[in-house]
Structure 1
Amino acid sequence: MTPAELALLLRPLQFFNSHAAGTRDGLLELGNTSEPRVLVWNPEVIGGIWHADRTLAHPGSRTFRPVLGEHSLIWADGQRHRDYRAALSVPLVRQLHTYRGMIAGIVDSFIDDLTPGTKFSLADWTRALALRVMGAFVFGMDDTSFLRPFARWMTRAIGSRPRTLAYRHLRGGLPTAGPELDRLLVEQARAARRDPRTLSAHLLAHDSPVAGMDDDELRDQVVTLLFAGHETTASTAAWALYWLHRHPEIGDRVRAELDRTRADEPGHDGSPLLDAVVSETLRLTPPVPAAGTRKLATDCDLGDRRFRAGTVVMPQIYIAHRSPATFENPRRFNPDRFLDRDGTAYRRPITQFFPFGGGTRHCPGAQLGQLEVREILARVLRRLDLQLVEHRGPVEQLRAHTMAPSPRIRMRVRAYR
């Protein structure tokens, strides 16, 4: 293992920050092994990867492959990957408006459980909330108490970075869900096909492009949807609330903006500042620091260097988003960088700002996740007066390949508004 690989393994955020602040060319080779790996954050090269994505292989994560399963849509390739995206495009993109009321009801129920004086772990609260919402997306609104063992499994596997590293390097891999939880998830998914609003119904419909999958494949998709759909959303919502309470003047501006909008329409069209807060949160503290691995099918040039076929290329979200060449004062939380002078939303090029990846692997749930985060922020800011409780220790917590606020960051409910 090279020094760079060791630094990336043991102190990844410090490693990322050291390269984001440097004057490098946006490429870093990690070693001259039989399968060389290259970190990429150069915008021009990133654009080339997105453009050529259909010709690249997507080997996925060695850490998470046994957890999510061999059939996971995250590393499906070719026609099977296109079939999964087609099956999920209707609920995740075309029917977004049908989910807003369901999200709002769940968020309000979680807020109702908080009483003045209550102190709570911000990351734990948003994670429980987002898992409940994702459970409703996948299985419907019936009893989802079986999600508790799923949450315990995730905490055991990725809740502690030292424990995760020990599992991966000393125990042969992360712990799996176990046959009983796998069976329960499959049974619930097949039962949920009766509710046409659920993701399970769209996967299992007789005219679905992936209809007829067996229990093993269905299990892998359900676990993938639950994990990917709640972990990243929960982290984004928690980070946004953290930043808004670290910078209360921005929080006051968002509340004033929300006061000018209808309570049932918290974002996108009428709340550009709220949208900018979400975008700036995704820039400064992306829930996933890297955008997924690609493998070169042929020898090709990346930037000014040539790499041979078989090289694994890893687009780096965290480093690209903190590059001073792209973002002025990149470590400062400044939502105004995502607003034009007239206060309308400003869209950054996907070669510079890509919290949901890009190319053929752009996250299919990106719009739904952002809708959920906006609902959480709008309802919390409208209903609660919160105080950020001081804490000691690092702000960030790495959970395998995701980055969340430390569970030690706590909020106190001062009052209801």
Structure 2
Amino acid sequence: MNTVELHMALRTLPFLDARSDLPEGMLDLRTGPRRKLLVWHPEALEWIFRSDRRLLHPGSNSLLPLFGARSLLWAEGERHAAYRRVLGPPLRGRQLTVYTELIERMTRESLDTLQAGSMVALPSWSRRIALRIVSAIILGAADEAALVPFTRWIDLALGSRRRTLAYRYLRGGLPRSPARLDRALVRQAKAHGNNTPPTLAALMLSGDEPLGAIDDGELRDQLVSLLFAGHETTASATAWTLYHLARDRGLTADVRGELEAAGDGGVDASRVPLLQSVIQEALRLAPPVTVAENRTLTEDTELLGRRLRAGTTLTPSIYLAHRRRDSFADPRRFDPERFLGAKSSPQHYLPFGGGSRHCLGSGLALLEIRMITAAVLARLDWECVNPRAGVPELRGHAMAPSAKLRMRVTACRV
């Protein structure tokens, strides 16, 4: 690892902020035969996403020990396409409506524990709700016997930036989940095979094409990957949305009025355009992850006037793409109106990645964020007691608000 890569690893956000105004939108992280570039220029991103199926996706060296070598996150070719064909349909479009009752119920159960005067650690609170929801969708139930050790393991690996870096660079990689947890997840996945609608685990275990039979080791890799990706990013975006609303009473009143007029708890995005814009802007300023998946060139390529050899790795920077001044005026300012009545192209705005690796659960994530936010605004008045803690912290590649961020419930509305 050279000094540039080390600087980015040790001081990721300051490193990126210092380069946000570079007009070329590309930066060499590593030179030589294993060249690696950070990329955020819109034309380069458009080319990557358009050419995605011709590229390789080597994945993350730091996360590979965590999620396993057979994780769908770095599956290639037909295997990757097979997972998307199996898991994609229930996670998009009208089929998402089967999850609305589940999201509403689990959010209500969490809100029922709060009363006037309650102090809420916002990031961990939203993380608990999102994990319970996605575990029910993947496994069939939110079993605390599995979720508590899962949370403990993820926090051990990613909860402290210093500890994460120590694992990565001094201990040979992030810690794998305990064998006891793996067995519990696989057992729970198999125990709910007759649920209606079918769980995502049941779809993977059907034995049908295009996946065919998968063994317990491959199933474990998919379960921990889906549980993490399906809750960590959603929880962070939910926390950021609620944080920004808590800081602007006028905006909160407008969103409440919109939700009351819509009357569906935030289910239909087209009926709550202001709330959707608030969420989009929260995702722009603090995207769920700072970078999209690595792509490796399979042939010599010219990109933005640079001659790049086969084997060069391109890392799309979501964080920097969202801070380009020629894409977003005054890019560090929170301004939901920039999304009202406007549609951003995927090379400018890519909170869920793009190309063939676009996040499978993006539609579910947005539905959850809308519904959780709608339920909070209907049930509570609360205030942020330490707004200066509304700063990003990295959990692996994910970007969450500081764990210190606190909300105090001032009134229960119903």
What is the aligned partner in structure 1 of residue 294 from structure 2?
Answer: 293
What is the aligned partner in structure 2 of residue 271 from structure 1?
Answer: 272
What is the aligned partner in structure 1 of residue 224 from structure 2?
Answer: 223
What is the aligned partner in structure 2 of residue 108 from structure 1?
Answer: 108
What is the aligned partner in structure 1 of residue 346 from structure 2?
Answer: 350
Alignment of 1:368-407 (within 5 A): 368-390=364-386, 395-407=391-403
Change (3 A) 1:61 1:376: same
Contact 2:234 2:369 in 1 (8 A): yes
Change (3 A) 1:402 1:5: same
**Correspondence 1:304 to 2:323:** no
What is the aligned partner in structure 1 of residue 243 from structure 2?
Answer: 242
Q: State the superposition RMSD in angstroms.
A: 1.4
What is the aligned partner in structure 1 of residue 129 from structure 2?
Answer: 129
Query: SS at the partner of 1:269?
Result: helix
2-structure distance, mates of 1:123, 1:366: 19
Q: Which amino acid aligns with 1:87?
A: V
Contact 1:290 1:316 in 2 (8 A): yes
Query: SS at the partner of 1:28?
Result: strand
Alignment of 1:357-368 (within 5 A): 357-368=353-364
Query: SS at the partner of 2:320?
Result: helix
Residue 34 of structure 1 deviates from its aligned partner by 3.4
Contact 1:196 1:202 in 2 (8 A): no
Provide runs of 4+ in structure 1 moved above 4 Å.
391-394
- Deviation digits for residues 10-38 of structure 1 (CA, Å, limit 9, x no counterpart): 11111111111x24311101122431110
What is the aligned partner in structure 1 of residue 10 from structure 2?
Answer: 10
Alignment of 1:1-400 (within 5 A): 1-20=1-20, 22-94=21-93, 95-141=95-141, 143-197=143-197, 198-340=199-341, 346-390=342-386, 395-400=391-396
Contact 1:258 1:266 in 2 (8 A): no
Q: Which amino acid aligns with 1:385?
A: D
Query: SS at the partner of 2:234?
Result: helix
The aligned length equals 411
Change (3 A) 1:300 1:359: same
Q: Which amino acid aligns with 2:164?
A: T
2-structure distance, mates of 1:326, 1:264: 32
Structure 1: gaps spanning 5 or more residues:
341-345
TM (normalized to structure 2)? 0.96
Structure 2: gaps spanning 5 or more residues:
none
- Deviation digits for residues 238-288 of structure 1 (CA, Å, limit 9, x no counterpart): 011111112232222111111211144544121001111111111111010
What is the aligned partner in structure 2 of residue 412 from structure 1?
Answer: 408
Q: Which amino acid aligns with 1:54?
A: R
Query: SS at the partner of 2:92?
Result: helix
Bigger CA drift: 149-158 or 22-31? 22-31
Query: SS at the partner of 1:70?
Result: coil
Residue 73 of structure 1 deviates from its aligned partner by 0.5
1-structure distance, mates of 2:192, 2:226: 14
1-structure distance, mates of 2:189, 2:183: 10
TM (normalized to structure 1)? 0.96
Residue 302 of structure 1 deviates from its aligned partner by 1.5
Query: SS at the partner of 1:30?
Result: strand
1-structure distance, mates of 2:90, 2:270: 21
